[in-house]
Copies of this chain bind each other. A is one copy, B any other.
């Protein structure tokens, strides 16, 4: 059974030492009163306790039992209800929510650490509240004050849960062709009718009510993505006094049988003239939903890091204990029948690869969290908009790069176990199954890459990208920056390819899609290089304070630069091959 221990020391390293988050918080009025270093540490500590002790022990039994559907009702696995009650009592659902509606108002930079722990403990459990947080954001950003006052407090409190209802059987990536319809009613509400699939937590037994955010078309809406509106559709309608009233015409037709996240109910939801309330303006639903999507995309990215962290911890523990063969240079434990497999270079290569990508990811998630906090709380409008531009640029990278690396790390962690990694007992195979969905949902990683290269880079002719690379160049330009040469080379490569792609895209509609996935990875490795150089700088300056901890950071940085960053060479060559090689065959020739 997998063990998870919250990596608190590593998280404090990133938050306090690399990014000096407490100083930032102190200068942002909305956060200055709310959080400081001690508060943050106390929250992390408690989060570590809750996730490792309350939630992680449910992961395997949750996978084995799965969510069950019977006659329209969904039961979560044994222990989930009690754990969810304890969890919501702790206020975790509203950790970074708006205090005006009952949230705790904590910075995103802190909550990304918490989200990592939550996914590390159990992805299925995490999803039930992850969507609630996202739904709250969309409601807060776009709904009327009346809707906010009614629906946000019980959501932040965790008594009710949120969902996002986008996909239909014929419409996944392409939301422009959805068919669910909304008919205006005399009382100002709308009657929502249609079928949605792949609805995470569409039905469950954890909360008293469920608040569905549903994309639908008004009867007179224009065709395509500009005719979609967003509605709040509760499972149970509210009586005049705000208490739970009659059931709405919303039902769960079945749940999916999936590769993993089996304890998370993935529902087919039928809306049969259900009562719903318009959020924001008519036909502006996609934009409103994207407030939620962008939040979820970072969160789902972090699922990749969380699963990978648990896989890493278990692989290290196994590699230290499993005795098999002798070290290449001669026996290390001559008193035992064999040496622990952590002596072998290839086992170390796998472990260091996981470690370097997980810690790089954690730093990147924290950086995006920092920019989210700045975009929300900075006093200066320029600072807010500059941070928002970085968030827009980096969110698809976080979602796709974290989860691609998450799968790679979980597969590596399984491989360290040999045959024992393939059987249920050790939990490594569950992590592979659970993490795999994160590359698919919330917009496939291919779609993230199109968003990045098409909209965020080519779309603004590289302005946001230059803003980001300028920050890296500033770091690399310091007289004492570690890995300055490698960083400069990596940034040069990224910029030069970006420029080339902007030119290509002007004359070739396939140029973006042909390069996008490799481009996203190239940007990801370059960003991690910058973050690893920053971490190495801090570790180098503090090494004498804690030799074991900081020298491990330096060793991992070195591994990243020597063994992983060179992957950009292949990515560059793949991108420069262009799109022609993709279009030499007709669909029939495949």
Contact = CB atoms under 8 A, between A and B. Distances in A.
Interface of A: 167, 170-174, 176-177, 197-198, 256-260, 266, 316, 319-320, 323-325, 327-330, 337-338, 340, 342-352, 355, 407, 411, 414-415, 418-419, 421-425, 429, 432-433, 436-437, 439-441, 444-446, 449-450, 509-510, 512-514, 516-517, 548, 551-552, 554-556, 558-559, 562-564, 566-571, 573-574, 577-579, 581-590
A411 B407 contact: yes
Given A258-B424, A345-B582, A419-B440, 18 more contacts: A174-B324, A177-B338, A257-B425, A259-B422, A260-B422, A342-B587, A343-B587, A345-B512, A345-B579, A349-B582, A352-B581, A355-B590, A414-B440, A418-B440, A552-B590, A555-B584, A559-B581, A569-B570
The 5 lowest CB-CB distance pairs between A and B, nearest first, are A566-B573, A345-B513, A555-B584, A562-B577, A259-B429
Given A338-B174, A551-B589, A432 B573 contact: no
B324 A510 contact: no
Given A257-B423, A328-B510, A517 B346 contact: yes
A570 B574 contact: no
Contacts of A509: 327-330
Given A548-B589, A590-B351, A329 B573 contact: no
A429 B590 contact: no
Nearest to A317: B590
Contacts of A552: 585, 589-590
A436 B432 contact: yes
A587 B320 contact: yes
Contacts of A319: 587, 590
B584 A551 contact: yes
A132 to B, nearest CB: 21
A374 B559 CA distance: 44
Contact of A422 (B350, B414, B440, B573): B440
Nearest to A552: B589
Contact of A258 (B329, B423, B566): B423
A217 to B, nearest CB: 13
Contacts of A176: 325
A167 B588 CA distance: 47
A486 B562 CA distance: 26
Given A328-B512, A450-B346, A558 B587 contact: no
A455 to B, nearest CB: 13
A325 B563 contact: no
B566 A574 contact: yes
Contacts of A320: 587, 590
Contacts of A562: 574, 577-578, 581
Nearest to A560: B581
Contacts of A582: 345, 348-349, 352, 559
Contacts of A569: 566, 569-570, 573
A350 B513 CA distance: 12
Of A176, A346, A421, A562, chain B has the most CB atoms within 10 Å of the CB of A346
Of A259, A552, A554, A556, most buried by chain B (CB within 10 Å of CB) is A259
Given A345-B514, A509-B329, A415 B432 contact: no
A415 B173 CA distance: 12
A513 B344 contact: yes
A552 B586 CA distance: 9
A590 B446 contact: no
Contacts of A174: 323-325, 338
Contacts of A419: 167, 172, 197-198, 440-441
A449 to B, nearest CB: 7
Contacts of A517: 346, 349
A115 to B, nearest CB: 21
Contacts of A514: 345-346, 349
Given A509-B329, A573-B569, A583 B418 contact: no
A290 B497 CA distance: 49
A177 B337 contact: yes
Which of A349, A444, A571 gathers the greatest number of chain B CB atoms within 10 Å? Answer: A349
B170 A323 contact: yes
Contacts of A513: 328, 344-346
A329 B328 CA distance: 56
14 contacts: A170-B323, A171-B324, A177-B338, A257-B423, A258-B423, A266-B423, A328-B509, A328-B510, A345-B583, A346-B449, A349-B517, A555-B584, A566-B570, A566-B577
